[in-house]
Amino acid sequence: MKKHVTLFDICKKAGVSSATVSRVINQSPLVHARTRTKVMKAIRELGYHPSHAARMLARQRTDTIGVIFPDIAGGFYADVLGGIDDVAAESSYHIVTAFSHGDQDTKKLVAAFAQERRVDAMVIMNLFASTAPVIKSAVRDGMAVVLLDRPVPGLKTPTICIDNVNGADAAMTHLLDLGYRRIAYISGPQDNFDAQQRMEGVRRAMNRAGVALTDELVWQGNFGEESARQALRSYLDRWQSLPEAIFACNDAMAISAMATLQDHGYRVPDDVAIVGFDDIDAARHLGLTTVRVPMREMGTAAAHAALEKIQGQEPVVSTMLMPAKLMVRRSCGAELAASRGAPAARG
């Protein structure tokens, strides 16, 4: 690595002190215009650029936001990152990303970022309940922390959540409004926060409509394609019949169910209506009716909250619910119903 130009080289060349050069760099108004030009000239001629490391040390800040995602998020949360970057870049903040492999790893990452003062703020996709203590202690040490997805109980720090309950409610209500009554629900993992909330929304919608949510119609899934396929198959094997509609806790399972049905010769939505949750890319291409999770907006919201926290502002609201909007497409049979001129009368 070639020796680089430092601030002192500028001092010599411009014949001023380090303080003055520093002032010029930092756009301080306390410099004579003539001096400034002289210094700028030296800077340009020597090709000087301040060392990030030295600045960090002297100013006791990093101009960096740490982002910690579980690696299982995959391309799924890339939009969140994009959103964070959009607003961070605007304020000249850097982003350091880390993908955690499991909760132990998350703990290490959070601790490292905070304790080595590697970042001014952290955005954490908070999937594991077990991470709570580390997060709390980071906050206690004065780190600005923004949570994505779910709050840490008892911790007052900005938290960006998905409105899972209303989203799931809307999806279920949509199916009910279309006249479906025997509706199956493919759940997510029982220990997953989003899954729990979506289930809650499902219950609420069913209750309101006065339709029972029976055990045979609640299928245990785990967000994976295989789990949905199996759930569907075992229902078919056992009952030799289909529900009128299926609502899956996420798109991956909805799509998998859709494919499985088609493999068995059933048509969607003619024989069974399907609705998912997330609105991943494939959902649009497949005409899957689903609930859209505004990933990018969650990212921008998180970054804004982080920047505010850094500036010491207390957040206006500590937990922010991002609206989850129902995207009506083919798979739920809304078009079918409309073309019949009336809600599908069934069951």
Instruction: Determine the angle formed by the axes of helices 33-46 and 18-25, rounding to 10 degrees.
Output: 90
Q: Which stretch binds DNA (CB under 7 A): 28-36, 178-186, 242-250, 321-329?
A: 28-36
37 is an interface residue for DNA by CB under 7 A: no
Q: How far apart are CA 246 and CA 110, in angstroms?
A: 39
Closest CA to 337 of 174, 183, 182, 211: 174
34 makes contact, choosing from a copy of itself, DNA, none, with CB < 5 to 8 Å by partner type, with DNA
314 is an interface residue for a copy of itself by CB under 8 A: no
Phi and psi angles of residue 90, each rounded to the nearest 5 degrees, phi first: -60, -30
Min dist CB 12 to DNA, Å, is 11
Q: How many residues bind DNA (CB under 7 A)?
A: 31
By the 10 Å C-beta count (0-12 exposed, 13-18 middle, 19+ buried), 342 is classed as exposed
315 makes contact, choosing from DNA, a copy of itself, none, with CB < 5 to 8 Å by partner type, with none
Cis peptide bond prior to 269, omega within 30° of 0: yes
Q: Which stretch binds DNA (CB under 7 A): 44-52, 102-110, 267-275, 333-341?
A: 44-52
Q: Which stretch binds a copy of itself (CB under 8 A): 81-89, 125-133, 169-177, 298-306?
A: 81-89
Contact set for a copy of itself, span 3-62 (CB under 8 A)? 4, 47, 49-54, 56-57, 60, 62
DSSP string, 185-243: EE---TT-HHHHHHHHHHHHHHHHHT----GGGEE---SSHHHHHHHHHHHHHHHSS--
Per the listing, tokens 């760099």 go with 25
For residue 188, give both structure tokens: 């997510």
Closest CA to 66 of 152, 161, 159, 146: 146
CA 139 from centre of chain: 20
**Binding characters for a copy of itself, 260-289, by CB under 8 A (x = yes):** --------------------xxx--xx---
Contact set for DNA, span 45-84 (CB under 7 A)? 48-51, 53-55, 57-60
7 is an interface residue for DNA by CB under 7 A: yes
Binding residues vs DNA (CB under 7 A): 4, 6-8, 15-20, 22-23, 25-26, 30-32, 34-36, 48-51, 53-55, 57-60
Binding residues vs a copy of itself (CB under 8 A): 1-2, 4, 47, 49-54, 56-57, 60, 62, 64, 71, 74-79, 81-82, 85-86, 89, 94-99, 115-118, 141-143, 255, 259, 280-282, 285-286
